[in-house]
Amino acid sequence: MRIAELLARGRTFSFEFFPPKTDEAQAQLANTITELAPLKPSFFSVTYGAGGSTRTRTRDVVVELARSGVVPPMAHLTCVGHTRDDINLLLGEYKAAGVENILALGGDLPSDPSLAGPSDFHHALDLVEHLREHFDMSIGVAAHPEVHPRSPSRESDRYHLAEKLRRADFAMTQFFFEVQHYERLRDELAALGVHKPIVPGIMPVTNKGQIVKMAQMSGAAIPQWLSDRLAPLEDAADVRRVGVEVATTLGADLLAAGAPGLHFYTLNRSTATREIYANLGLGG
C-alpha cells in the first residue's frame, strides 16, 4: 500500500527503525517489530546511514518487511554517495520485492568524508525528480520544523522544502517538542501554496544524554521547561515516564491541531511507543 493512498484515506500512525549492525541488534529489532505489529501501524520506516553506509542492511530490512506482507515499509534513501546507477539498481530490487514507498533525503557525509562514494545527486530535490521520472512510487521528503541546521535562513529552508513538496507526495518531520513548531511549519508552507500532508515525528525522551546529542544534530531545541523536568531525574525509568508523558501531550496537541498522523521514532525499542499509543487511545 502506498503512503499517499493511506494519507488520502485518513490519519496514519507509523514507526521508524534503524538497520541493526549485529546479531544481537537484529534480534532486538525483530522483537520490537513483533511487539509493535499488533498496534496495526499504517507503515514502518527504515533509516539509511550517512553516506549510504547502511545501504545493504537497510535494503535487507525493507525487503524482508515487504515480503512479510504485514505492514508496508518505507525505505529511506539519500543522495550522498550514490550514482544514478546505484539508485536504479537499488530501486529495481525494491520494485521486485513490492516496495512502493521511499523517503528521499539529502543525507549526511560519513564521519570520514573520503569513505563516501561518487554522487550524481547534490540535493534531495534532485533525487525526488529522478525517482518521479523513472519510478512509480509514493515519495516522501524530510521537513525540519525548527529549520534544517545547514539552512542559511528560515526563508531559504521553507522555499526549498516547498519546492521538494511540490514534486513529492508528503513530508515527514524531524522530532520536536512543542506543537507551535509544527503549526508554524504548516502555515509557512501553505503561504507558499503547498498543502501536501506533513506528518509530524515524535521522539519520546528515554535517555537524557542521547536526546541532547540527537537534538543538536537535527536542529531541534530542547525547551527550558523540558530541561527543568528532566534535570533532577537520575533513574532511567523516571526519565522514560516523563518522556512518555511529554510525548503523549504533544501527540494529543498535534492531533487536535489537525495533523494527518503521527510518526514515532522508536530507536528500535517498543516500550515507550506502546505506552504513548495506549495513552492516546490508538490502535484499539
- pLDDT, tens digit, 9 for 90 and up, residues 217-263: 888 999 999 999 999 999 999 999 999 999 999 999 999 999 999 99
As to burial, measured by CB atoms within 10 angstroms (0-12 exposed, 13-18 middle, 19+ buried), residue 209 is: exposed
Which pTM was predicted? 0.93
pLDDT of residue 55: 67
Distance (Å) of CA 200 to CA 60, 179, 260: 26, 9, 8
pLDDT in tens, 69-126: 889 999 999 887 788 998 999 999 999 999 999 999 987 655 555 555 667 888 899 9
Q: Based on the residue annotation, tell me whether 146 is a catalytic residue of this protein.
A: no
The mean pLDDT of 196-201, rounded to a whole number, is 98
pLDDT of residue 217: 84
pLDDT in tens, 163-175: 999 999 999 999 9
pLDDT interval class at 284 (50, 70, 90): low
Cβ partners under 8 Å of residue 165, min gap 6: 141, 171, 189, 194, 196
pLDDT in tens, 118-152: 678 888 999 999 999 999 999 999 999 999 988 99
pLDDT of residue 81: 75
pLDDT of residue 116: 59
pLDDT of residue 139: 98
On the question of pLDDT at 280 being above 90, the answer is yes
On the question of pLDDT at 48 being above 90, the answer is no
Rounded Cα distance, 280 and 204, in Å: 14
Q: Which of 16, 100, 178, 275 is catalytic?
A: 16
Rounded Cα distance, 46 and 99, in Å: 12
3-279, CATH topology level:
TIM Barrel (3.20.20)
Distance (Å) of CA 188 to CA 141, 144, 157, 161, 241: 16, 12, 11, 10, 34
